[in-house]
Amino acid sequence: MADSGDSSVLFRSRVLFMTGKGGTGKTTLAAAVAKLAAAQGRRTLLCELDSQRPSLTAIFSRVPSYLPVVVGENLSICNVEWMPALDDWLADLVGAGRIVRMIMKNRMISIFLEATPGARDLMLLHRVAKLAERYDLVVVDMPASGNATGMLSVVSTSRRLFDTGPIRRCAEDIESMLARPDTNLVLVALPEEMVVNETRETRARIQAEVPRLRQPLILLNRATPVTLSAEERLLLDQLASSAELGVDGRELVEAGRWEERLECATAEALERLRALAPVVVLPVLARGEGAARVAGQLTAALARQSRVKVDLVGDAGRSASGGSR
């Protein structure tokens, strides 16, 4: 699409938190960004957070485990589960052997869970911060906006509640990660009024509750590019009011007007979203494509927009040369 925003922030980041309304394409776009970064030669990790049914499985045909699994050159995936994350945190904290840790863990878990609001979220984010030390880029496929905002705001709550001690230090580690200039937030949106409204609310809430996180980048997914010229629109209007059209002609005009409505919805969403943050536009793809293929095609679309020259293999490579729609 011609009028896209600057996507370079995606490829300058070390940690990318991706969220948005449910079903907007967070997981697919997180995979696309990770695939492209890996193709550029960056050691990339794509994680889900404590997912009971990891969505990355459908894209990579591998079940992501707590420990990163290699799924391609420079690319690994994982599912950051909170219990092993707690175990790792304890290991760092007490540095003791396994048995001591197990006893401590059993005693601590109940105290920790009861005493610390958002204890699970703290452990998950702390693990992400640790992983970020080992990769060039960590892409985090977060839960939908409401939960993601709650998760991110747990950090400042914990800092307020604990003046000293290990939980305070844990929150501080996470906060330093959030405040880094190469940590960025991506909000995934769709050209639909309700989704745009939710994106605005999420942006405002995260800004208020996690002020140290930088201005987000918005990915407007499933957008319809403007293809109809002003003359074609006028012609459609004239034809729609013409009494001389047969059944076939009417169907064609209806199809044209449907396309026009989708183009308008994209233009309206773009205008509203651009008032919030820079926007990168990604096209709607044909229905019925598999998850892996959609992710591949969106990787190619991102590569074109970023003017990144990379060898994308598989679906992405094929659609990079053949167009994505």
Q: Is 323 in the site for ligand ATP (CB under 6 A)?
A: no
CB of 106 to Mg ion, least distance (A): 33
Cβ contact 306:7 at 8 Å: yes
The least CB distance from residue 55 to Mg ion, in Å, is 5
Longest dimension (CA), the chain: 85
282 binds, among Mg ion, ligand ATP, none (CB under 5 to 8 A by kind): ligand ATP
Give the three-state DSSP class for 133: coil
Q: Would you say 20 or 216 has its CB closer to Mg ion?
A: 20
Establish if 147 lies at the interface with Mg ion (CB under 5 A): no
The CA–CA distances, whole Å, from 178 to 13, 133, 211, 216 equal 12, 13, 10, 12
Closer CB to ligand ATP, residue 128 or residue 148? 148
28 contributes a contact to ligand ATP by CB under 6 A:
yes
Judged by CB under 6 A, does residue 269 bind ligand ATP?
A: no
291 interacts with, out of ligand ATP, Mg ion, none, CB within 5 to 8 A per kind: ligand ATP
Query: Rounded to an integer, what distance in angstroms lies between the CA atom of residue 115 and that of residue 7?
Result: 41
Residues 218-257, one symbol each (x = binds ligand ATP by CB under 6 A, - = not), give ---xx-----------------------------------
Contacts of 273 (CB under 8 A, 6+ apart): 189, 196, 199, 218, 220, 279
Within positions 88 to 147, which residues make up the interface with ligand ATP, using CB under 6 A?
A: 144
Asked if residue 28 binds Mg ion (CB under 5 A), the reply is no
CB of 320 within 8 A of CB of 303? yes
**Full DSSP string of 170-188:** HHHHHHHHHHSTTEEEEEE
* Distance of closest approach, residue 200 Cβ to Mg ion, in angstroms: 21
Helix axes 82-94, 98-115, angle to 10 degrees: 120
Any contact of residue 211 with ligand ATP (CB under 6 A)?
no
Q: Per rule CB under 5 A, is residue 55 in the interface with Mg ion? A: yes
Strand order in the sheet with 75-80: 69-72, 75-80, 44-49, 137-141, 15-20, 183-189, 217-223, 279-283
Min dist CB 101 to ligand ATP, Å, is 33
- DSSP state for residue 288 in the 8-state scheme: T
Q: Which residues bind ligand ATP (CB under 6 A)?
A: 22-28, 55, 144, 221-222, 282, 284-285, 291, 294, 298
